[in-house]
Structure 1
Amino acid sequence: MPHAVTIRPVVTRKDRKAFLDVPFDIYRNDPNWVAPLYVERFEHLNPKKNPYFQHADAQLVLAEQNGKPVGRISAQIDRLRLERYNDATGQFGFLEAPDDPAVFQGLFDAASRWLRERGMARVQGPFNFSINDELGLLIDGFDTPPNMMMAHAMPYYRRRVEELGFAKAKDMIAYDYDATVELPRSMRSIYERAVASSEITIRPFDKKHLARDLAIVMSIFNDAWSENWGFMPFTREEIEALGNNLKKLVASEYIAIADWRGEPAAMAVSLPDLNGWIAGLNGRLLPFGWAKLAWRFLARPPASVRLPLMGVRKVYHNTITGSALALSVIDTVRRYHLSRGTKRAELSWILEDNMPMRRIIEAIGGKPYKTYRIYEKTLP
């Protein structure tokens, strides 16, 4: 007989620890799940540490059976998102639960009630917490581990979510890219001619001028992505946090900036797949995790990298110049990582209907290998 489900809010630090522990049971037999680092996840959930909470409110929720936490969810309202879209839409995230419809029902009932009480008429998700964080429910591609800042899920999640009346809002595609394969000559020539004529100049991110180059990257991002579904610009505080992380995490060559006739026009940001380094640490850096992580970081390049940000200013969209700019930054980053021994990359995420970008990625050899879905539902 199924055990009764108790739903309760996360209140204390001990509760937050229980919230973070839930997926360890869900995925204990899944070789492709990678335990996140506790220290990083605690900061992400902490309103005093995560700048998201300067413009948003959230409630974390636990589901328990026999006094043991077995499931979790978040409900959140982003005030800046509401100002931008004026659609009375809240969000859910951090969904983890066993294959038990009562647990799913209890979690979503609690999240929906919290959102309704605050005036929301619709819910979308999953977002952990925002569209600029980990997002989407994995609906295919369960047979490989997730890349950095990408989600994993059990195959039954999709069925349980849809049974509760959620429908597809949008799909995001993750592409696997073999960095050892040169760009087709016809495509490489598109940007090489522009580089040879000095119309395009490409350079790495300059950490000595961190604020300047970070502003350039985010300016291009905010312009290039501004008409994308669900787009939200980074706030100043979020940009500062991103800059601090990039400064610690990546070499300057991980980021390429392309100028068109002297003006910044395109960028690509790559990140090492930290999941490949933290696998096996079980989320902990103590007592020996720090040493293992440092050794892995220093001893070998990442097996894979991820390109989470790539953009070309809107004025160049759907033009040969735009294609040349996009190819120039992607190929510059590709050649750098290949020179260090990294042979694979994930290009993600790409909106399913962003056909200009999908055509470029597929033309250079990218293959779709994971799909992440955002769901939505009108709140009763």
Structure 2
Amino acid sequence: MNDTATGTQSANAQTGEIVIEPVTDKRGRAAFVDLGRRFAAQVPHSVPQMRSEQIELVTPGKNPFFGHADVQLFIAYRAGEPVGRISAHIDHLALDVPAEQGLGPGTGMFGYFDADDEAVAGALLDRAESWLRDKGMTRVLGPISMSVWEEPGLLVRGQDHSPMLMMGHHPEHYAGYITGHGYEPAKRLYTYDLDITQSYPPLVQRIVKSGERNPRIRVRPVDLDQYQREIAIILEILNDAWSDNWGFVPLTDAEVKHTGKKLRPLIHPQLNRIAELDGEPVAFMMTLPDVNDLFARTGGKLFPFGWLTTLRWLRTPRGAGMRVPLMGVRKRLHNSRLASQLAFMMISEIRTHAAGEFESKRAEIGWILENNQGMVAIADTLNSSINREYLIYQKSL
């Protein structure tokens, strides 16, 4: 921050005026992340994340999201002290999405939203909206931090337990800050909690056995010796399977490569499956051990001793919860009996390994869009229950 800005803040300290400053450099990005960490530490059941990873997410050249987006970070100050933060961003790939899928021309976004009180929240939202409006946006969605593939939505139900990896965790009063500023719900996202120590219902068992007798179907583990190929297959299916979903933005080649590299330490062949039909990959299910179990013990730190704990945990994360963040079946098979059969076959195989050699007791499926009837039906058939609800809000500019 320059001397002029600092002087302005000192003058404003007497009146309590809120000053919003744009983040423009490496030091500012670190301050932005550290402020978010301060807010997170105040929320019950939150889990500290790795600071280096959080800084990477907001750094151009480190996060490939910046390759197709304009991003501005802001920090709010009162009496010279940081009291809130927000991002405003425009995903240029999202501008090309049909409007009926929730995005489209004129749609900007806000994210990384934290505020000490309602006045700070209002000032931050005003600043983000002004930035978006100046760039020609006519509508804003949020919070989405920053890509829809990262942490979409505000947690509005489920604050009574810790989140799993790659899911946001927010205090209840943030919803009032956002709706009080003229926002209304645009879409609900759910996660489902599943007890994997219990046998699946007879209907699911019959569907799985029927699929196992079908010579056209092969469900196989991910081959780590061909890891990059496997990740490319999974994410190609994902882009096809999710292409009609609300809020869908295709992953770029750079994002596919980046995601594969980041997920590699968490990928265990026993927990990740690709389903083939007549030799063609047509479906996948990705399951990740909940690294938040580890971060809760290490405080999200690798040093001085966290790296030993981390290496042991990554090798065999026994007892960890499991999260299913991604699952997909090629679009041409949607609404067919085969789609649900492939899904249940992958789920059944992964559950056996998760509950067996990994000694896991629970899994979380999602997020799932409220109107994704196929995935909601699968979750209901498995006797899982909604444990967390997120809201994405919208407002005309």
| TM superposition score normalised by structure 1 | 0.95
Deviation per CA, 1:272-326: give whole Å up to 9, x if none.
1111101143443233332333344457425211101111112222221111011
Q: SS in structure 1 opposite 2:225?
A: helix
Distance 2:41 2:65 in 1: 30
Residue number among 113, 124, 129 corresponding to 1:112 in the alignment: 129
Contact kept, 8 Å, 1:112 with 1:123, in 2: the verdict is yes
Distance 1:366 1:31 in 2: 25
Match runs of 1:123-138 below 5 Å: 123-138=140-155
Deviation per CA, 1:135-169: give whole Å up to 9, x if none.
11001111001110000001000011000001000
Q: After the TM superposition, which of the residue ranges 198-207 and 367-376 deviates more from structure 2?
A: 198-207
Per-residue deviation, 1:329: 1.3
Match runs of 1:278-317 below 5 Å: 278-298=295-315, 300-317=317-334
Per-residue deviation, 1:254: 2.4
Residue number among 113, 128, 138 corresponding to 1:95 in the alignment: 113
Aligned to 1:37: 50
Whether 2:389 is the aligned partner of 1:375: answer: no
Aligned to 1:219: 236
Distance 1:251 1:299 in 2: 9
Distance 2:228 2:170 in 1: 37
Q: How many residues in Structure 1 have an aligned counterpart in Structure 2?
A: 378
Aligned to 2:6: none
Q: After the TM superposition, which of the residue ranges 370-379 and 237-246 deviates more from structure 2?
A: 237-246
Q: After the TM superposition, which of the residue ranges 7-16 and 143-152 deviates more from structure 2?
A: 7-16
Aligned to 1:175: 192
Distance 2:146 2:40 in 1: 21
Distance 2:60 2:16 in 1: 33
Contact kept, 8 Å, 2:219 with 2:345, in 1: the verdict is yes
Distance 1:65 1:289 in 2: 36
Per-residue deviation, 1:22: 1.8
Aligned to 1:71: 84
Aligned to 2:94: 81
Contact kept, 8 Å, 2:211 with 2:345, in 1: the verdict is no
Question: Which aligned segments of 4 or more residues in structure 1 are displaced greater than 4 angstroms?
Answer: none
Q: SS in structure 2 opposite 1:358?
A: helix
Letter in 1 for 2:333: Y
Letter in 1 for 2:20: I
Per-residue deviation, 1:29: 4.1
Match runs of 1:174-253 below 5 Å: 174-253=191-270
Aligned to 2:36: 23
**CA separation of 1:296/1:262 partners in 2, compared to 1, >3 Å: closer, same or farther?**
closer
Distance 1:299 1:329 in 2: 21
Contact kept, 8 Å, 1:177 with 1:347, in 2: the verdict is yes
Distance 1:118 1:301 in 2: 49
Letter in 1 for 2:302: L
Deviation per CA, 1:325-351: give whole Å up to 9, x if none.
111112222112111201111101000
Per-residue deviation, 1:224: 1.2
Aligned to 1:357: 375
Contact kept, 8 Å, 1:277 with 1:302, in 2: the verdict is no
Per-residue deviation, 1:261: 2.7
Distance 1:298 1:252 in 2: 12
Letter in 1 for 2:347: I
Q: RMSD value over aligned CA atoms?
A: 1.7
Per-residue deviation, 1:266: 1.1
Q: SS in structure 2 opposite 1:70?
A: strand
Per-residue deviation, 1:222: 1.3
Q: SS in structure 2 opposite 1:198?
A: coil
Contact kept, 8 Å, 1:176 with 1:368, in 2: the verdict is yes
Whether 2:156 is the aligned partner of 1:139: answer: yes
Aligned to 2:351: 334
Letter in 1 for 2:307: W
Distance 1:128 1:163 in 2: 20
Q: After the TM superposition, which of the residue ranges 119-128 and 29-38 deviates more from structure 2?
A: 29-38
Q: Which structure 2 segments of 5+ residues have no match?
A: 1-13, 99-103
